[in-house]
Amino acid sequence: MSSYSLWFVDIFKSICLVADRIQTSSMSDRHKVYILVLLQAIFFIHLAECVRLSSCQKEEKCTRLVSCSPLMNILKPRGMTQAEKDVFANRQCGLDPNGRELLHMVYVCCPELGDVLPSKQTCGKTTPVLGFRGAENAELKEYPWMVLLLYENRLSLTWNQRTGCVGSLINSRYVLTAAHCVIGGYLTHNDLVLKSVRLGESHNDSITSVSRGPHLDVEVGQTTVHQGFTSSGGTYHNDIALLRLRIPLRYTKQIQPICLLDADFPLHDLNLQVSGWDPTKSSQPLITSTIKKRNPVDCLNGYTSFRPASQLCAGGQRKRDTCAGISGSPLMGIKESGVDKFVFLAGIASYGQQYCYSAGIPGVYTKIDHFLEWIKANLAP
């Protein structure tokens, strides 16, 4: 066994002995909690043949655990969930034997704070086919920012078996979705409350069924709905909401953020794509379709409440549009900037035609660039 491993085993045994003794001592509760925190901290240190250090991702920094507030805020003296413990897996990137205490000795890959959006070198990294596509099944790797919203019935405390709402991951801590997916008449009428999100899922057969692939369920810690959100007769204004996840995510091939553009970008000549889980099929596969931005007049003809300043008009082509079952779905475009090529979020599916894939009135999407400052202002560290 390596000297580092022996050293950690000795520390672990020593702390265990101290913790055991304080159970019957008169030491203050504060000190007891501190020892227990140290015990919690050591669970992610490799006490194997050697201490294997991890490489940090682009948006992470190797720093002392005690200086990493996103992780320190999760660390608790007792009662940590498995999901909270998993956050620490494979994050150790360094070791300082001369540190005063364990929290100062261990270096971890610390994620960015929740109010920081990822760089264009990190977000939107995928290769979706942005040529014309009818409504067809999609591979999850094409849209790794796609998030399925999960609801619980607050009376029966059972999971809702079918959910028609989607969101988009914008950084390691936040998901962007439609406000009517968080509050509104349908949820109230069915006694549903948003509880968590699922990432890395390609099918939505059933919330309680065995997934077709690895996925990650994360609890929603806080929701922020736009203060100007209103609904009337199935139409919405300021239909946007932020979901703060209870724990920070670590990016994988199946879980990546989508980009938000810093400035308005013309969409007239772009092929845009929209994706969601198809509610018309029993297995509810992930589907995608290519659509075009339409003249605002086309939406004003169908919806007198349409607001061109804050909403986008798109789709309405037969076999190429979204439907009521995938509210909150991302409307996506692709942008090239120098050597960087990335997918950005142009809009959020708000409301539109009532029947999937039928031709006619285009759909209405919340315009992201109109709400960019609101988004930034409501991201918390």
Distance CA 219, CA 240 (A): 19
Which DSSP symbol is given to 263?
A: S
Among positive and negative, which fits the CA dihedral 24, 28, 30, 34? negative
Same domain, 90 and 184: no
- Domain end residue (candidates: 66, 92, 110): 110
Among 61, 95, 110, where does a domain finish? Answer: 110
Grouping H, G, I as helix, E, B as strand and the rest as coil, residue 32 is helix
Q: DSSP letter string over 70-103?
A: HHHTT--SS---HHHHHTTTT-EEEE-TT-SSHH
What's the 3-state SS for the chain?
A: CCHHHHHHHHHHHHHHHHHHHHCCCCCCHHHHHHHHHHHHHHHHCCCCCCCCCCCCCCCCEEEEHHHCHHHHCCCCCCCCCHHHHHCCCCCEEEECCCCCCHHHHEEEEECCCCCCCCCCCCCCCCCCCCCCCCCEECCHHHCCCEEEEEEEECCCCCECCCCCEEEEECCCCEEEECHHHCCCHHHHHCCEEEEEEEECCCECCCCCCCCCCCCEEEEEEEEEECCCCEEECCEEECCCEEEEECCCCCCCCCCCCCECCCCCCCCCCCCEEEEEECCCCCCCEEEEEEECECCHHHHHHHCCCCCCCCEEEECCCCCCCCCHHHECCEEEEEEEECCEEEEEEEEEEEECCCCCCCCCCCEEEEEHHHHHHHHHHCCCC
| Same domain for 152 and 94 | no
Domain-located, residue 74: yes
- What are the phi and psi torsion angles at 76 (to 5°)? -130, 155
pLDDT at 170: 98
Which pTM was predicted? 0.82
Residue 100 domain-assigned? yes
| 33 and 74 belong to one structural domain | yes
DSSP assigned state of 333:
E
Query: Would 336 be classed as within a structural domain?
Result: yes
Q: For residue 133, what are its two tokens?
A: 């596509």
Same domain, 142 and 89: no
**157 is a domain residue:** yes
Report the CATH number at residue 350: 2.40.10.10
Question: Does residue 156 belong to any structural domain of this protein?
Answer: yes
Q: Compute the distance between CA of residue 225 and CA of residue 243 in angstroms, rounded to an integer.
A: 9
DSSP one-letter code for 29: H
Does 115 map to a domain? no
Phi then psi dihedrals of residue 42, to 5 deg: -80, -10
**Domain check: are 105 and 157 in the same one?**
no
Residue-level pLDDT at 245? 97
Range of the domain at 208: 136-377
Identity of the amino acid at 367: K
Higher pLDDT, 11 or 149: 149
Better-predicted residue by pLDDT, 251 or 284: 251
Whether residue 88 is found in the same domain as residue 211: no
Q: How far is CA 211 from CA 143, 202, 224, 249, 265, in A?
A: 17, 8, 29, 20, 37
pLDDT tens digits, 8-66: 434 444 444 434 443 444 445 544 455 345 444 544 444 333 445 778 998 999 999 99
What gap in Å lies between CA 132 and CA 59, rounded to an integer? 33
Return the SS3 of 273: strand
Model pLDDT, residue 89: 86
Q: Where residue 160 falls among pLDDT bands split at 50, 70, 90?
A: low
Task: Say yes or no: 156 and 48 in one domain.
Answer: no
Say which range, 60-74, 113-127, 192-206, has the weakest mean pLDDT: 192-206
160 shares a domain with 265: yes
Q: Which of 110, 125, 150 is the last residue of a domain?
A: 110
Residue 23 lies in a domain: yes
Secondary structure (H, E, C), 193-228:
EEEEEEECCCECCCCCCCCCCCCEEEEEEEEEECCC
The residues pairing with 203 across neighbouring beta strands, listed in sequence order, are: 285
Q: pLDDT (tens digit, 9 = 90+) per residue, 89-123?
A: 889 899 888 877 778 888 999 999 999 999 988 99
Q: How many domains does the chain have?
A: 2
The neighbouring-strand residues paired with 365 are 312, 349
Q: What pLDDT shows up at residue 280?
A: 56
Cβ distance 56 to 101 under 8 Å?
no
- 57 shares its domain with 162: no
Are 156 and 258 in a shared domain? yes
On whether both 300 and 352 belong to a single domain, the answer is: yes
Amino acid at 64: R
Question: Is the Cβ–Cβ distance between 293 and 312 less than 8 Å?
Answer: yes
**Residue 123 belongs to a domain:** no
Give the number of residues written for the chain. Answer: 381
pLDDT digits (tens, 9 = 90+) for 289-308: 888 899 999 999 989 899 99
pLDDT (tens digit, 9 = 90+) per residue, 211-224?
445 688 999 999 99
The predicted structure's pLDDT at residue 266:
79
Q: Is the distance from CB of 243 to CB of 193 less than 8 angstroms?
A: no
Lowest mean pLDDT among 130-134, 152-156, 281-285: 130-134
Q: Looking at the structure, tell me whether residues 151 and 188 fall in a common domain.
A: yes
Q: Token match 């939406």: residue?
A: 299
